[in-house]
Structure 1
Amino acid sequence: MTLVKLMVRRHRMLLTSWLLLMIALSGGTVSAYQSTYPTEAQRRLAVQLAQHNAATTLLYGNLPDPGTPALMFAWEIGAIATILAAIMGVLVAIALTRAAEDEGTLELVRGSGVAPPVPLRSALLVLGMVAAVLALGCAFAVGLSAGHVDAVTWPGAVAFGSVVGLTFLLAGTLAAVLAQVAPTATGARTLGFAAVGVAFAVRTLADTRHVGWLNWLTPLGLRATVRPFAQERWWVFATGLFAAAVLAWLALVLSARREYGAGLITRRDMRGTRLNIRSGFALAGRLARRQVLTWTVAVACVGTLFSAMGSGVVRQSENGDLGGFLGSQLGTGDPVAAYFAYSGTVVGMVVSSFAVLSVLTSRHDEARGLTDHVLATGARRWTPLAAQAAVTAVGSLLILTATGTLSALIAPAVIDGSDVAVHAFTYVVGQWPAMLAVTGWAALLVGLRPRVSWPAWIPLVAGGTFALLGGLLGIPQPVRDLGVFQHVPDVVSPDPDFRGLLVLIAFAGGAFLLGVFGSNRRDLTTG
């Protein structure tokens, strides 16, 4: 238990931030579904449209009858909450396992006499504790609306919270398994996010092709199998807990079969031959090229899928029949522009994750002593951080450009309207200033206080909350404007406003310079 307390204390900010976000998301959006669909006729129309719309089925799954406000909440917000829980599970599990190992802190723990299997067992116990807190917190937050929102009951709230918590636990234990396989913590995160992507793809295949049994193979299918606020099939949780226990056991078995600091997959980025690198930027680019390529392919597929499935949403919005979460996103303006602004925001949030992780690579390299090797060649003190931030900015632009280009090629074939290709391209590539702002903020933190890295996620979390949930939560527009994702103008409008993008670029430049300046005036971080 001493090691468990140490892990919780060391990662308390990461855990607290995610838990507060998930609980606030669950409890703060329930009442909006009562006010969005106040009459039975509006509710019936919204349910019929949602059940026969390929895009909403792809995003959120199948909406069961009778489509009460509670069911619509579990359908829309439940989809977002479970995806975020899976991402949270990957990040927390890797931070507790391979990240601590790569940074050298786990070596200090093991040097004090702790047996080799104990750290991983403690990490798995922490995952279980966090899952329980997450489930109870979400259940309590949703249950407070019982009696105020139609069909919201305490048993349904407990089922909803348990789905979110168990999704986190399954993703976390799966990431713990991948942490034993991957050669580095970065590779483990990449595999973990890829697993979340596969889980989402399986869930969408199950719902769009009406192959229900596939939902049993993905943690993101728990909503469909448990059915909160409908039938609450409690026995499903037993199968989920059994799967989590099997994954935890597999992680322990694999951990005993690998060397400390290495994975079961041999590293392929280490060679005995000499490589001519003439600058810090070239070194950072060389090391990041595989990561950039992986993110480019994944994000381009997601962005193109959004474009290909948008015709139904645009048509509903044109007819004034779109409500709920997507209705709050598209508003009352041009449906085509509004839809691509929404999809561009989602793409921007995903690429922001790449930007934060990429800049934090500089922090991890410094902690592992790799920065010392670069500085030993005569490079200036600020070069590693500046080079990593520059590669992050260029990599973000490549990802956005590839995604925008594919969307612009596919969208006109499936969505009717004027300037469809222009909107599909500009609303994605226009997120680049937001990526620069996220990159600059992360570089500022690494330059000034590399040991405190969790605030690097604040622009992504806050901006995503303001952009996607601002309308449902009733957040004032001036506050929502502080987010980084909703400043891309409609370039085909008579008077596009680029001031927001200029502010983001100015902020990014200032934060980057302060971070680089700060890295010159502090000691290197080790461990």
Structure 2
Amino acid sequence: MILTRLMIRRHRVLITSWSVLLIALAGATVSAYQSTYPTPQQRRIAVELAQHNPATILLYGNLPDPGTPAQMFAWEIGAFATILAAIMAVLVAVALTRAAEDDGTLELVRACGVGPRVPLRSAFAILALVAAVLTVGCTVAAGLHTGRVDAITWPGAAAFGSVVGLTFLLVAVLAAVLAQVVPTAGGARILGFAAVGTAFGVRSIADTQHVGWLNWLSPLGLRATVRPFTGSRWWVLATYLLAALALAWLATVLHDRREYRAGLLRRRDRRESHLTIRSSLGLAARLARQPVAVWTVAVAAIGTLFSAMGSGVVDQSQGGDVGGFLGAQLGAGDPVAGYFAYCGTVVGMVASSFAVLSVLRSRRDETGGLTDHLLAAGIRRWAPLAAQVAVTALGTAAILVATGALSALVAPSVIDGTDVAGRSFGYIAGQWPAAMAMAGWTALLVGRWPRLSWLAWVPLVTSATLALLGQLLGVPRSVRDLGIFQHVPDIAAPNANIRGLLILLTFATAATLLGVAGITRRDIVTS
């Protein structure tokens, strides 16, 4: 019990921030589906279009009849909630298992006489507790709208909350299994996110090809098999709960068969030859080579997917029949520009996540002792952080340019409109200043207040919420403009305003300089 409390305290910020985000997402968006489609006729038109639009089916799944506001909420927001729950599950599960092992925490704990299985059992207890919190929180958040939104009931809300909580638990124990296979926490995260991508692909194939049984093989298919607000099937939850228990047992068995701080797969052998690196910039670039390549492939795939599925959404918007979440994203202007602005926002969020993680590597190098070794070789104190920001800027640019170029090649073949290729590229590549603002903010925290580096995620999460849900929730335009993702101008417009981008770049430069200067005025922190 003491170990469980220690791990909860250590990861309280990660767990709390994600939990609040998911519960708030569930509670704040329900009423919008009642107000967006106030009449049965408007709702019927929107439901028919959603049920026959390949793009929306690919993204959200199949919308059941009769398409009540409650069903549309579970269909659209439920898709986002379960994906976010799966991402949260990977991050939390790896942090509780392999990351705690890699950074030496579990070594100290086991030195006190704790059994080898106890840390893993404590991790499973915390994962179950978080799943319960998500279940209860999402249930209450949705259930409070009973009587105000059509077809919202407490049993349906309980089924919806159970889907979110059990999706988290399934992916978390699956990530714990994968964490026993690879030798590092970073590898476990990559495998975990690959599993989430595979689960999304399986769910998409099941819905677009009408192969319903495939949803049983995907944690993200739980929403389709339980069917919240559509004759909720409770026995399905029991089946998936047994699957989660089986995965937990498998993780325990694999844990007993591997060595401490090692995986079932051996670490790749190192080359005998030495690398010639003449500067901190060269070292940062060498270490970032593989992550940048992985992120480029992943982000390019996401951007191309959104571009390829935009034809139906644009056609539907031109007819004035798009409502709900997508309708709020497209706005009332040119549907082509609105859709590519939405795609660019999504890609910008992912690229900004890379920028934050990349700059935070300076903090990990500092606590891990690598920075001490560099300084002992005569490197100036500000150089490692400055080099990391520079590599982050180049890496983010490579990711966005590659994604924008591939999107520009695909988009004109599926979407009709004015300057489709240019808009596709411009809205994606134009997110670079936003990503740099996040990199500069992170560098400021790492350089001056390293203990507060977790605050690097706050502007990203806030801006993402304002960009995706601000208009749907009725947030004033002046407040939404405070976010960083919706300042890319339409390059096809006669007077493109780039003032927002210049402000973001100015902030990024100033924050980076303050962070680089700040690291010269404090002690280097090592673990």
| Fold match by TM threshold 0.5 | yes
Deviations 1:67-98 (A, max 9, x none): 00000000110000001101111111112122
Q: 1:300 to 1:128 in 2, by over 3 A?
A: same
Alignment of 1:118-517 (within 5 A): 118-268=118-268, 270-517=270-517
The number of residues matched between the two structures is 527
Q: Which residue of 2 aligns with 1:101?
A: 101
Counterparts of 2:456 and 2:120, CA distance in 1 = 26
Q: 1:111 to 1:516 in 2, by over 3 A?
A: farther
Moved more, 246-255 or 330-339: 246-255
Moved more, 340-349 or 517-526: 517-526
Unaligned runs of 5+ in 1: none
Counterparts of 1:120 and 1:387, CA distance in 2 = 37
**SS of aligned partner of 1:520:** helix
Q: 1:269 to 1:456 in 2, by over 3 A?
A: farther
Q: CA deviation at 1:353?
A: 1.9
Task: Output the amino acid matched with 2:194.
Answer: A
Q: Taking every aligned residue pair, what percent have the same amino acid on both sides? A: 71
Moved more, 92-101 or 121-130: 92-101
Alignment of 1:8-19 (within 5 A): 8-19=8-19
Q: CA deviation at 1:471?
A: 1.1
Counterparts of 2:263 and 2:401, CA distance in 1 = 34
Task: Output the amino acid matched with 2:151.
Answer: A
Counterparts of 1:150 and 1:64, CA distance in 2 = 15
Q: CA deviation at 1:99?
A: 1.9
**SS of aligned partner of 2:388:** helix
Moved more, 72-81 or 362-371: 362-371
Moved more, 313-322 or 8-17: 8-17
Counterparts of 1:172 and 1:220, CA distance in 2 = 13
Moved more, 69-78 or 120-129: 120-129
Q: CA deviation at 1:56?
A: 0.7
**SS of aligned partner of 2:372:** helix
Q: 1:269 to 1:400 in 2, by over 3 A?
A: farther
Task: Output the amino acid matched with 2:60.
Answer: Y
**SS of aligned partner of 1:452:** helix
Q: Is the 8 A contact 1:103 1:364 kept in 2?
A: no
TM-score, normalised to structure 1's length? 0.98
Q: CA deviation at 1:375?
A: 2.2
Counterparts of 1:106 and 1:524, CA distance in 2 = 24
Counterparts of 2:22 and 2:172, CA distance in 1 = 16
Moved more, 510-519 or 150-159: 510-519
Q: CA deviation at 1:110?
A: 2.0
Q: Which residue of 1 aligns with 2:44?
A: 44
TM-score, normalised to structure 2's length? 0.98
Q: Is the 8 A contact 1:337 1:490 kept in 2?
A: yes
Deviations 1:42-67 (A, max 9, x none): 00000000000011111111000000
Deviations 1:106-132 (A, max 9, x none): 222222222222112111111110110
Unaligned runs of 5+ in 2: none
Q: 1:385 to 1:98 in 2, by over 3 A?
A: farther
Task: Output the amino acid matched with 1:353.
Answer: S
Task: Output the amino acid matched with 1:126.
Answer: I
Q: 1:508 to 1:298 in 2, by over 3 A?
A: same
Task: Output the amino acid matched with 2:263.
Answer: G
Counterparts of 1:318 and 1:279, CA distance in 2 = 54
Q: CA deviation at 1:279?
A: 1.3
Counterparts of 1:453 and 1:210, CA distance in 2 = 46
Counterparts of 1:37 and 1:274, CA distance in 2 = 65
Deviations 1:256-282 (A, max 9, x none): 222322322333374332111111111
Deviations 1:159-203 (A, max 9, x none): 001101111111111111222222222222122111111111111
Q: CA deviation at 1:366?
A: 2.0
Q: CA deviation at 1:417?
A: 0.7
Moved more, 502-511 or 129-138: 502-511
Counterparts of 2:236 and 2:455, CA distance in 1 = 37
Deviations 1:386-431 (A, max 9, x none): 2222212211111111110011011111100110001100000000
Task: Output the amino acid matched with 1:301.
Answer: A
**SS of aligned partner of 1:409:** helix
Counterparts of 2:118 and 2:382, CA distance in 1 = 38
Counterparts of 1:384 and 1:253, CA distance in 2 = 41
Counterparts of 2:313 and 2:105, CA distance in 1 = 49
* Moved beyond 6 Å, runs of 4+: none
Give the CA RMSD over aligned residues: 1.3
Q: CA deviation at 1:526?
A: 2.6
Counterparts of 1:389 and 1:200, CA distance in 2 = 32
Q: Is the 8 A contact 1:103 1:367 kept in 2?
A: no
Counterparts of 1:194 and 1:357, CA distance in 2 = 18
Task: Output the amino acid matched with 2:83.
Answer: I
Counterparts of 1:458 and 1:482, CA distance in 2 = 13
Counterparts of 2:185 and 2:259, CA distance in 1 = 14
